Amino acid sequence: MNDVGVPVLRACGLCKQYGRGEGLVRAVDEVDLDVASGETVAVMGPSGCGKSTLLHLLGGLDRPSRGELWLAGERIDQLGERALARLRRDRIGFIFQAFHLMDELTAAENVELPALLAGRSARWSRRRAAELLERVGLADRAAHLPSALSGGQRQRVAIARALVGDPQLVLADEPTGNLDSQATVEVLRLFEDLHSSGQTLVIVTHDSRIAATADRLITMRDGAFVDETRLTGGSAGNIGFLAGLTE
């Protein structure tokens, strides 16, 4: 891991714009963000507010129009495609709304893929994949194709895949967007689990349940951050009131 003092992720004045003149659209507008090690940050906002674009910028899937981006103290917004690829392979893990698993590969093979791309041996990759599938509770489904898995199970495979390189940072884009409530709970458990094991997470979502797992909640509107909340405190007593118990 990295020094406690250095934030895992730092963005300064990040901008992404499209078009020109009258048609100029600022998808991301002067965003500053610091994410400390082990922190879970949730970004919420209405559709079209630019949160997905922001996440793609943070992960190097897209290039910012302006601004600086640092990962564990290294500048990454200026890197070439190949260096970015290595980054995505080794240091950043991605979880997408649509899972994006490869349909012709089994669950285990899907999880192995980033390791194989990184040049790890087949045996190491297989072992690591088995470990991670065990962790997400899908050890018995390792040989199944994605078509044989439910939505929640697929997303869990995707989470396992994101963790295969032991990344410094995991980015999740609407991880429960395509899931029903049962599957959402499965994924929720995993995120809580990741959080308690010290993984740094940045989650973009409009599901308040997922957002509630975060330490910090940032609200985004029209490409800019407008609010930030620390979610702490409270006890079961308050909940009792919500259940209608105390009068």
Footprint on this chain of other proteins (rule: CB under 8 A): 26, 46, 52-53, 56, 59, 61-63, 81-82, 85-90, 94, 96-98, 100, 102, 104-105, 109, 113-114, 116-118, 161, 165, 174, 177, 181, 185, 188-189, 192, 207-209, 211-213, 217, 222, 227, 229, 231-247
* Closest listed residue to residue 27, CA positions, set 65, 74, 80: 65
Compare residues 12 and 85 and give the one whose CB is closer to other proteins: 85
The structure tokens listed for 142 are: 């390792």
Compare residues 197 and 235 and give the one whose CB is closer to other proteins: 235
Render 17-35 in DSSP notation, one character per residue.
EES-GGG-EEEEEEEEEEE
Tell me how far, at minimum, the Cβ of 59 lies from other proteins, in Å: 8
From residue 212, give the alpha-carbon distance in Å to each of 99, 139, 205. 22, 28, 11
Please report where in the chains the tokens 């609200």 appear, as a residue: 219
* Closest listed residue to residue 203, CA positions, set 172, 179, 230, 178: 172
Tell me how far, at minimum, the Cβ of 5 lies from other proteins, in Å: 27
Compare residues 4 and 235 and give the one whose CB is closer to other proteins: 235
Compare residues 5 and 244 and give the one whose CB is closer to other proteins: 244
Tell me how far, at minimum, the Cβ of 138 lies from other proteins, in Å: 17
Please report where in the chains the tokens 């349909």 appear, as a residue: 103
Overall residue count recorded for the chain in this entry:
247
Compare residues 35 and 95 and give the one whose CB is closer to other proteins: 95
Compare residues 198 and 240 and give the one whose CB is closer to other proteins: 240
Tell me how far, at minimum, the Cβ of 113 lies from other proteins, in Å: 6
Tell me how far, at minimum, the Cβ of 31 lies from other proteins, in Å: 16
Query: Which alpha helices (DSSP H) does the chain contain, by range?
Result: 51-58, 81-90, 107-117, 122-135, 151-163, 181-196, 208-211, 236-243
Tell me how far, at minimum, the Cβ of 229 lies from other proteins, in Å: 5
